[in-house]
Structure 1
Amino acid sequence: MTTYWLAQGVGVIAFLIGITTFFNRDERRFKLQLALYSAVIGGHFFLMGAAPAGISAGLNAVRTVISLRTRSLWVMTLFIVLTLSLGLVKLNHAVELLPIIGTVASTWALFRSSGLTTRCVMWCSTACWVTHNFWIGSIGGTLIEGSFLIINGINIIRFRRMQKRGIDPFAVEKKMVNE
């Protein structure tokens, strides 16, 4: 088995892990599943030779778990600086900026926003990643990020409609934060 097919296999495993991530309304489960997905897809990117994306995905995994414990501005800034400094050093092509931009945006979202705002920023981050993944030829990465784009987009619309009807789709999340 060549490294290419091993990398593609890891990407498909990441796809299987990540496919239901954005269905979660519970912030903790959402973040834990997103962290697991990020760790696996990071391995995929390193195997594909896409170091900036691998670094960004690895930082995403750690950052997402840490964001469960703190929403500290200092910690958020640390992850943004790490993403920029480590990712930009390995940059070979302009398209490789997209996962770095996506990671910075999602870092801000996980530390400074909640609910629907988080999902909207994550949707924009996903658009950066899907473009990058298609460009590098990542089958699993393109499938999962394309799926994230669709699933999260549908859920954003669904959650917004719930809010317009006076239903708080994130009541579970808010209840857990207040306890």
Structure 2
Amino acid sequence: MSLFFLSQVLVAIAIGFDLMSFQFKERKKIVGCLFCAGILISSHFILLEQWTAAGLMIIATIRYLTSIFSTSSKLKYLFCSLSIVTSVVTYAGIASVLSCIGSVFQTVAAFNKDDKRLRELMVIGTSFWLVHNYVIGSPTAVLMEALFISSNLIGYYRYYYKNA
């Protein structure tokens, strides 16, 4: 089995956690699923030797775990700073820029107390990751981000439009 194929399998499994995440209303459950997906996605990027993305997803995984217990602005700024420093240190062109922007949006989202705002910011951040995954040539990761955005929008509709 090639490393590329294995990386795609890991992302396929992460898709399950991503799809589940935004079908929950409770912020902690959303973020808990994102933590599980983050472990698999960071492993995917390591196998593809995409070091900026791998570093950012490792930070994201720690960030999601942390944000289950705290929505402190200080932590938000710490994780945004870590993402920027990691992106500068591992800079490899446009892919690094795209993943950094996506990571910063998702960091702000993760530390937002309001699940509605969390969903909105996640769509923006995920859009940058979708383009990133296209640029690096990971088709399953592109599919994952598209499904993640779709799941988020379905959850958004269920909780904020359907019941209104």
Give the corresponding residue for 1:175: none
Q: 1:138 to 1:111 in 2, by over 3 A?
A: same
Matched-pair contact (CA < 8 Å) for 1:22–1:152:
yes
| TM-score normalised over the length of structure 2 | 0.92
Is residue 95 from structure 1 mapped to residue 82 from structure 2 by the alignment? no
Alpha-carbon separation, structure 2, partners of 1:8 and 1:37: 13
Give the corresponding residue for 1:33: 33
Give the corresponding residue for 1:173: none
Aligned-residue offset at 1:108: 1.1
Aligned-residue offset at 1:162: 4.1
SS state at 1:127 partner: helix
Query: Mapping of 1:145-156 within 5 angstroms?
Result: 145-156=145-156
Alpha-carbon separation, structure 1, partners of 2:107 and 2:61: 11
Alpha-carbon separation, structure 1, partners of 2:112 and 2:10: 31
Query: Mapping of 1:72-87 within 5 angstroms?
Result: 72-87=72-87
SS state at 1:149 partner: helix
Give the corresponding residue for 1:141: 141
Alpha-carbon separation, structure 2, partners of 1:74 and 1:117: 18
Give the corresponding residue for 2:24: 24
Is residue 124 from structure 1 mapped to residue 124 from structure 2 by the alignment? yes
What is the CA deviation profile of residues 50-105 of structure 1, one whole-angstrom value per residue up to 9, with x for unaligned ones? 11111111111110110111122221111111110012211111132112111111
What 5-or-longer segments of structure 1 have no aligned partner? 166-179
Matched length: 164
Alpha-carbon separation, structure 1, partners of 2:95 and 2:7: 20
| TM-score normalised over the length of structure 1 | 0.85
Matched-pair contact (CA < 8 Å) for 2:103–2:125:
yes
SS state at 1:23 partner: coil
Deviates more, 1:122-131 or 1:149-158: 149-158
Give the corresponding residue for 1:106: 106
Alpha-carbon separation, structure 2, partners of 1:19 and 1:111: 20
Alpha-carbon separation, structure 2, partners of 1:113 and 1:106: 13
Identity %: 25
Alpha-carbon separation, structure 2, partners of 1:123 and 1:57: 17
Please tell me whether Structure 1 or Structure 2 has the larger radius of gyration of its CA atoms.
1
